[in-house]
Structure 1
Amino acid sequence: MTLLTHWPLAGLRLFTPRLELRLPDPEELAALASLAAEGVHDPAVQPFPVAWTDVGPEERARSVLQFHWRGLGAWRPEDWELNLVVVRDGTVVGTQGISARDFPVRREVDTGSWLGLAHHGQGLGTEMRAAVLHLAFAGLGAQHAVSGAFADNAASLAVSRRLGYEDDGVERHVVRGEPAVLRRLRLTAERWRQHRTVPVETAGLPECLPWFGVA
């Protein structure tokens, strides 16, 4: 018996031209936590609806560990959240998540991600999102993917536009005591096929399908 016998998600791999996405081992998770401690965004802005980065470096690192463990511990085929470490040339550069509730019926996924500050502006955000969109649409048979970004988060919105997302309404949030508008975005399977530009390969997916609620 191995870990894969009981937890096949540990063998899931997504590959793009520059990146590999996978569940992190303990050392990679520690590296991800350290990356968060060093900074994820300009402190002058807050791009996340939950301001988890507005704390000290040690608390920020600890929150990354707890967020990852909580997602794995609560996993159910009808309610799952897959948070993958993003690795480039052996270095952890960020994390890409994909989640769903009642996926067999709704066929819809949500995504979220962040990169360490040193890895911004290199096109990696597009590649890592393309990887999980391939997993969702080509691997799991999703019909929709949703995302969102605050109106002043030009980089995230540009990634979504590049990948084919369309506007899906707005939400009003409070960020640091001030009102903020979050733009919702939606990508259909048809538009995903039309806007595919990043080649993606998967490994270890067939064994994982029941864990995603896919027969």
Structure 2
Amino acid sequence: MLVDLWPLYALTVTTPRLQLRLPREEEIAALAELAGGGVHRPGERPFMSPWTVGSPADRARTVLRDHWQYLATWDVAEWRLGLGVFREGTPIGLVTLHGWDFPVIRQVSTWSWLGVAHHGQGYGTEARAGLLTLAFDHLGATAALTGAFQDNHASLGVSRKLGYEPDGISVDARDGQAVVSDRLRLTVERWRERPHPPATVGGLDACRALFGL
């Protein structure tokens, strides 16, 4: 069976309203169509990559390509775990956990998107908390990093709600202009001292070697 060859398909993170797991082929197609329908309001630009600027078909194909690339290039030295966010079996978004030299440095970064119809309902906070539960409480991460443009108030609000603290700024070129992002950092100590939505993790034991553990 596929799960025997690629045990990440058995990995699940369950929160009160959501389940995070690696999507199967028909589910990643549904997620791609969801992204094609929009992941932010018109006129916004919350991501450094211009993947949301094109047509609905362009956005959908980007989701497919990224999903396949993450699977094909998985390596202990650097990996990206892209988990579908499901609400009562329906895909509503995608969250990604990125690790590099993880057995040594024990740091991760995260990024995510939700279909625009699912914004403003606390799903982003709950999904990020589930991802961080996996990272801190089960993989042994010591810090999680993230960043957002200074006008991306929704993303920054989720990070601050979960206890991230300022970690400087980044200045990057976007469309020929300099843009500033706030960098944020959450340590395992701060994670454990602050309240966050509960989450349970299943199927990790068979996956540990893939993370270098």
Provide the TM-score with structure 2 as the length reference.
Answer: 0.98
1:193 matched to 2:192? The reply is yes
SS of match in other structure, 1:118: helix
> How many Å separate the matches in 2 of 1:89 and 1:177?
43
Partner amino acid for 2:71? Answer: L
Q: Quote the residue 1:44 is aligned against.
A: 43
1:88 is the counterpart of 2:91: no
Q: What displacement does 1:176 show?
A: 3.5
2: CA distance, partners of 1:72 / 1:190: 31
Once the two structures are superposed, what CA deviation does each residue of 1:64-109 show, in whole Å capped at 9, x if it has no partner? 0000100110001121100000000121100000011000000000
Residue of structure 1 equivalent to 2:123: 124
Q: Which moved more, 1:38-47 or 1:167-176?
A: 167-176
Q: Secondary structure at the match of 1:152?
A: coil
Corresponding residue number in structure 1 for 2:143: 144
1:211 counterpart SS class: helix
| Whole-angstrom CA distance in 2 between matches of 1:203 and 1:140 | 12
Q: Which moved more, 1:171-180 or 1:81-90?
A: 171-180
Residue aligning to 2:169: 170
Residue-by-residue CA offset, 1:20-46 (whole Å, 9 max, x unaligned): 000001111011000111001112110
Matched, 1:135 2:138: no
> Matches of 1:160 and 1:189 in 2, distance apart?
14
Note the C-alpha offset of 1:5: 1.6
The percent identity for this pair of structures is 52
Q: Is contact 1:97-1:111 (8 Å) kept?
A: yes
RMSD of aligned alpha carbons:
0.9
Contact 1:167 1:185 in 2 (8 A): yes
Q: Quote the Cα distance in structure 2 between the aligned partners of 1:90 and 1:3.
A: 20
CA distance in 2: counterparts of 1:122 and 1:83, whole angstroms: 21
**How far, CA to CA, are the matches of 1:123 and 1:177 in structure 2?**
34
Show the counterpart of 1:55: 54
The alpha carbon displacement at 1:173 in A equals 1.9
1:162/1:195 contact within 8 Å kept: no
Q: Which residue of 1 aligns with 2:64?
A: 65
Give the aligned residue type for 1:116: G
Aligned match of 1:7: 6
Please give the secondary structure, in 2, of the residue aligned with 1:196: coil
**Residues in 1 aligned to 2:81 and 2:196: alpha-carbon distance in whole angstroms:** 23
| Paired residues of 1:15 and 1:131 also in contact (CA < 8 A) | yes
> For structure 2, which runs of at least 5 residues remain unmatched after alignment?
none
| TM-aligned CA deviation for residue 197 of structure 1 | 2.0
Distance 2:175 2:30 in 1: 28
Deviation of residue 177 (structure 1)?
Answer: 3.4
- Comparing 42-51 with 124-133, which one deviates more in the overlay? 42-51
Q: How many residues align?
A: 213
Whether 1:27 and 2:31 are equivalent positions in the alignment is no
Structure 1 residue aligned with 2:111: 112
Checking the alignment, whether the CA contact within 8 Å between 1:46 and 1:175 is kept in structure 2 is: no
